[in-house]
Amino acid sequence: MKTRFNETEYVPEKGRAWLPALFCNIIGIAIPVLVIAFMVPLALPQIRGQLTYNIETGSMEPEIPVGSMIIVEACDPGDLAEGDIIAFSAGESVVAHRIVSNNVIEGRIETKGDANEEKDFEPVEYSQVIGVVSKVMPGAGLAMNFATSAGGRVCLMGMILCGVLFNVLAGRLRKL
- Which tens digit of pLDDT belongs to each residue from 68-94? 999 999 999 999 999 999 999 988 999
Q: Between vectors from CA 129 to CA 125 and to CA 135, what angle results, nearest 5°?
A: 145
For residue 46, name the pLDDT band (cuts at 50, 70, 90): confident
- The whole-angstrom separation of Cα 156 and Cα 148 is 10
* Residue 14 confidence (pLDDT): 60
Mean pLDDT of the chain: 88
CA distances (Å), 98 to each of 95, 109, 123, 143, in order?
10, 10, 12, 25
- The whole-angstrom separation of Cα 35 and Cα 162 is 11
- The CATH code belonging to domain 50-139 is 2.10.109.10
Bridge partners, residue 53, by sequence: 70
- The whole-angstrom separation of Cα 70 and Cα 96 is 9
* Residue 91 confidence (pLDDT): 87
Share of the chain above pLDDT 70, in %: 91
* Residue 69 confidence (pLDDT): 93
Single pTM value for the model: 0.72
Are 60 and 112 contacting, i.e. CB atoms less than 8 angstroms apart?
A: no
* Residue 111 confidence (pLDDT): 94
Instruction: Please choose, from the candidates 83, 95, 89, 101, the residue with its C-alpha nearest in 3D space to the C-alpha of residue 58.
Output: 95
| Radius of gyration in angstroms for the set of CA atoms belonging to the chain, rounded to a whole number | 26
